[in-house]
Amino acid sequence: MVINLGATNSLFNEYIAEIRDQNVQKDRLRFRRNMERLGEIFAYEISKKMDFQPQEVVSPLGISQINRLEKQPVLATILRAGLPLHNGFLNYFDKADNAFISAYRKHNKDGSFKIKLEYVSCPDLNDKVLILADPMLATGASLVLAFKSLLQYGKPKDIHFVTAIACTDGINYLKRHLSLEKFTLWVGAIDEELTAQSYIVPGLGDAGDLAFGSKMNGEV
């Protein structure tokens, strides 16, 4: 299932517009905060799909019964670009366990690249709700590799992938390579084109560079 929050008119699209806007992007702090805002809205929407149970809460004047989240999810992201989006989720699921994956594009001289994965830190995933966030879904290769690396830590109960900007090629790649998995893909916008270097058009550019500064080694 693909859920495109940007397809419905809401304040959400203000933040999508700002992370795309080349003039607003010059303010690195604002770019990170807008990614964080998107994560917060995604978190709120995903929470509606999760399990709740009634609990009694004692106030100074009495007792109230309120439906509260049954279990916190596991929040995962791919370093480094995913950190602001991830932090938005953590603002809302503030008691959640976290997982981090180090992955990057290893470029060849002919312009091609392979996704290299070097580090994974993850809690037990058995019977958990897994939310894996990455700001850009271009080819889909890094998200699939990251997700498969997490499966060594257990079988999640529910799987949510989250991305600010997705490309149709990346969405189709997920469907082909994770055909045996039941997952929900949450996106802020869907673009149709990839460049020869596998950047989304119109996209927004390099989310990691916009958040944290340019790299010297040419890796993404």
Over residues 98-105, mean pLDDT: 86
Residue 123: cis peptide before it, omega within 30 degrees of 0: no
Residue with tokens 């997705």: 166
Q: What is the pLDDT of residue 180?
A: 83
Over residues 90-119, mean pLDDT: 82
Mean pLDDT, the chain, as a whole number? 92
Check pLDDT > 90 for residue 214: no
Q: What is the pLDDT of residue 105?
A: 67
The confidence band for 218, taking pLDDT boundaries of 50, 70 and 90, is very low
Q: What is the distance between the alpha carbons of residues 25 and 23, in angstroms, rounded to a whole number?
A: 5
Over residues 190-212, mean pLDDT: 91
Check pLDDT > 80 for residue 200: yes
- Could you tell me the two tokens for 94? 């503030």
| DSSP string of 42-106, one letter each residue | HHHHHHTTS-EEEEEEEETTEEEEEEEESS--EEEEEETTTHHHHHHHHHHSTT-EEEEEEEEEE
Q: What is the pLDDT of residue 121?
A: 94
Q: Say what the pTM is.
A: 0.90
Q: In the chain, what are the domains?
A: 2-51+69-212 (3.40.50.2020)
